[in-house]
A = this chain, B = another copy of it.
Amino acid sequence: MTRSRQFLSDNSAAVHPKVWEAMKAADEAQTPYDGDALSQALDERFSEAFGRECVALWVATGTAANCLALATMVQPHGGVVCHREAHIEMDEGGAPGFFLHGAKLLLAEGESARLTPDTIRAAIDPIRDDVHQVQPHAISITQASEYGCAYRPKEVAAIAELARERGLGLHMDGARFANAAAFLEGSAAGAAGPIDALSFGCVKNGGMNAEAVLFFDVGLADVARYRRKRAGHLQSKGRFLAAQLIAMLDGDLWLDNARQANAAAQEIAGNCGDRLIHPVEANELFVRCTATERETLRTQGFDFYDWGGDAARFVTAWDTREDDARALAEAVGGL
């Protein structure tokens, strides 16, 4: 029996040593909630990182980040255009319905869980402009997408242009934003594009329990502050969340961690050939393989999720061991 080799998910990965250090350094009692020096520094630090003014709020989970961001853009009687397989639609336990007070998700199509202006129009153009049908108020895209694919800057720009034309807010779920940014050669601004709000992921990338919601449309942040408290997400020792985020920004740890995860994914991808269902542009691999083949891999000590009946999902993380990645690459190659 080999020891377990984790490819289940990046969401339970270890916390990076620099994050631990930063948290320890934040221990001393301070102004509660977000009155501490670290929380107060977030706006400036993120504005710097993105080269664009923004307001940054910490929250504990990506679900809260996404829903708080959307709640500032979408009235209860409105809707959010998102991909049919978006995390907010599939995996947040109905949180958008809760935070948005019954607003509706308007589902659109798109390859590898990425929307395009055309698929968005296909979803919203048939909506009659009357009170009997829920009108779109915002668009939400995921960078990298739920299938590990990155929107290119001009793709985001085209969606932003459509959003502007239609008067819609534009939100980006960046649970794996770092992986997309690393893939796109490291520019935060480039990976984000002209969006109104970003859920900047940290937990999957070596954090413990802090994500940031960034408002580039800074007028939206005030509502988010009230809603964060109202949702029980204003922690009294917020300094520990701020510390995690700042540790990530310091020296671009967020990009370094993502590069490591991406590199491990690429190593595996190199041996997958046409088993790959989606291009590998972040740290997730969706790999065609039979139940027998999956059983073979599990016998070799690899942990991962089945993806439907004839595929496996492998996720790498900042702490994926190089030899585990190599071993998986070889194992898949040898199937």
Binding site for B on A (CB under 8 A): 6, 8-9, 11-15, 20, 24, 27-32, 36, 59-61, 63-65, 67-68, 75-77, 79, 90-104, 131-135, 203-204, 208-209, 223, 225-237, 239-241, 317, 319
Contacts and interface: CB of A to CB of B under 8 A. Distances in A.
14 contacts: A61-B234, A61-B235, A63-B232, A64-B231, A77-B223, A90-B133, A93-B131, A97-B97, A97-B103, A101-B102, A102-B102, A131-B225, A203-B236, A231-B231
A237 B1 CA distance: 27
Nearest to A317: B29
Most buried by B among A14, A101, A209, A236: A236
A64 B209 contact: no
Contacts of A63: 229, 232, 234
B102 A134 contact: no
B208 A237 contact: yes
Contacts of A234: 61, 63, 93, 131
Contacts of A228: 131
Nearest to A87: B132
Given A60-B60, A90-B133, A236 B12 contact: yes
A123 B243 CA distance: 39
Contacts of A93: 77, 131-134, 226, 229-230, 234
